[in-house]
Amino acid sequence: MEKTLIILKPSCVQRGLIGEVTSRFEKKGLRLAGMKMVQLDDAILNEHYSHLKNRPFFQNVKDSMLSCPVIVQCWEGKSASKVVRSLIGITNGRDAAAGTIRGDFAVSSQENIVHASDSSEAAVIELNRFFDDYEIFDYKLSTLTNLYSNDEI
């Protein structure tokens, strides 16, 4: 099973959507393997968003992510990164499909409720950035056989 990172951004925390967004991943059948609230700082944001450092909106992204604590989560399942990306929708909430997290809760490209790893490779790097090994838990969901066929487990 693959693990992936989700960050519930300040726009999610401030709007009281933590439970509702988290329940979308649970209802899909993903397994929550780790979760904590953290206050991000410049160092981790510079590392996490280094691919945006030359973009004109980089400081706005950092300012937003520093505005209050965020919830970082590790979710696990078959093709977890791909599944999560389809659940959250495209970056700009105004253009995201109804039924996706961003389509249902966001009207901005920046204040778009969640960050999600864009690939399984990125997920490994990002999970290591935000979690220590002892903060990720391995346990078997009792509903596993109702989520996957025997040859998928």
Burial 70-96 (b: 16+ CB within 10 A, else e): bbbbbbbbeebbebbbebbbeeebeeb
Token pair of 7 as six digits:
């960050």
**Burial (CB count <10 Å: 0-12, 13-18, 19+), residue 145:** exposed
* Catalytic site residue from 115, 116, 126, 130: 115
Tell me the H-state helices in the chain.
Answer: 10-14, 18-28, 42-48, 58-66, 80-88, 101-105, 120-130, 144-147
Q: How many CA atoms lie within 13 A of 139 on its CB side?
A: 10
- The span from the first CA to the last CA of the chain, in angstroms, equals 8
Give catalytic status of residue 48 as yes or no: no
3-class DSSP state for residue 133? helix
Kindly list the catalytic residues: 115
